[in-house]
Amino acid sequence: MAIWEDFEIDCTEYLNATFGDYATFTHQGGEDSTVPDILVETQSGKSFYIEAKHCPAQCGQFVLLPDLETCTFEYSRQNANRINRYAEMIMAHMNQSFDEFREAGTAGKDIDMANSSQIFSDWIIQIYQEKGADFIITNDYTILPLERFLDYFEVTGKYRIKRSGSGNVGKSRLQPVMDYISTHDYVISNSRVDGDKLFVSSSQNLHDQRFILRGIEYMFSLRGQEYELRKLSNTYNANVIFSIKKKNASPGLSKEAFIEALK
């Protein structure tokens, strides 16, 4: 299991153990970045979300497409979030150095602009607010109010090419994939199908191992006591990607202050 996924689960367990008299905390984030990480349902009837971020970490992104005719960047329709004024400010800055940014490649190019940390932070705050998040929980179970994001984190931005993600194996590929892993150097003790998903059990450490079958790349991804086979995308998008680091002298909310927020 990835560090960030372990962290989300650990944070949920910590919150229930520490503040369970005031609210119920449910982990629901996972790989779907459009879904907030932790649902909070208070005893008083309120509900909101908490985002879990194990620093250093990536913290949001959006796809920009270069238009070679106009020498400007366009906000992709693939983006899960609507364009906002902070994305427009970033795009305006990038348009001034269009050729440099469009050649950024997989190494990427840092976005250095006036008030960049404030602008990046404001973009993150707005996106999380639209998802219903009120707080961030980060390293050492530090709980932070979302609106004070920049007080707690150093925020940077980069434009780079990134693979677009992964998906289920798909019903038409279930048998070919199963046949492949059964006849190669994988020790598979059990398998099961859930819709268009394929899960296997193995005594080997297969997490993040990959193979290519009929031009498609697949990856084993640990899910509890078994592995899910994931189909990796062949699509590479150019993303503005935000990264955060926790500032050293940044204490979070006291337990008493967070309990007041739950009442």
Question: Same domain, yes or no, for 207 and 135?
Answer: no
Check whether residue 185 and residue 80 sit in a common domain: no
pLDDT of residue 162: 81
Picking from 212, 229, 233, 215, the residue whose alpha carbon sits closest to that of residue 174 is 229
* pLDDT at 30 > cutoff 70: no
Residues 192 and 218 in one domain: yes
- The share of the chain scoring above pLDDT 70, in percent, equals 95
130-157 pLDDT, tens digit each: 999 999 999 999 999 999 999 999 999 9
Q: Is residue 29 one of the residues assigned to a domain? A: no
Token pair of 220 as six digits:
């084993």
Total domains present in the chain: 2
* Same domain flag for 127 and 184: no
pTM confidence score: 0.75
Strand partners, 26: 39
pLDDT of residue 120: 98
pLDDT in tens, 78-127: 898 999 999 999 999 999 999 999 989 888 999 999 999 999 999 999 99
Residues 88 and 122 in one domain: yes
36 belongs to a structural domain: no
Q: Chain-wide mean pLDDT for the chain? A: 91
Residues 257 and 181 in one domain: no
Q: In this model, does residue 166 exceed pLDDT 90?
A: no
Same domain, 158 and 173: no
Task: Give residues with Cβ within 8 angstroms of 211, minimum separation 6.
Answer: 180, 181, 184, 217, 218
- Confidence class for position 239, pLDDT limits 50, 70, 90: very high
Give 11 or 216, the one with higher predicted confidence.
Answer: 11
**Res 214: pLDDT:** 85
Could you read off the pLDDT of 36-71 as tens digits, one per residue?
899 999 999 999 999 999 999 999 999 999 998 999
Is the pLDDT confidence value at 1 over 60?
A: no
Instruction: Give yes or no: residues 75 and 148 share one domain.
Output: yes
Same-domain pairing of 212 and 178 = yes
| Predicted local confidence at residue 235, as pLDDT | 64
Q: For residue 82, is it within any domain? A: yes
- 90 and 209 assigned to the same domain: no
pLDDT band of 165, cuts 50, 70, 90 = confident
156: containing domain: 57-163+239-262
Q: Which two tokens stand for residue 9?
A: 């689960």
Interval 208-217: pLDDT, tens? 898 989 888 8
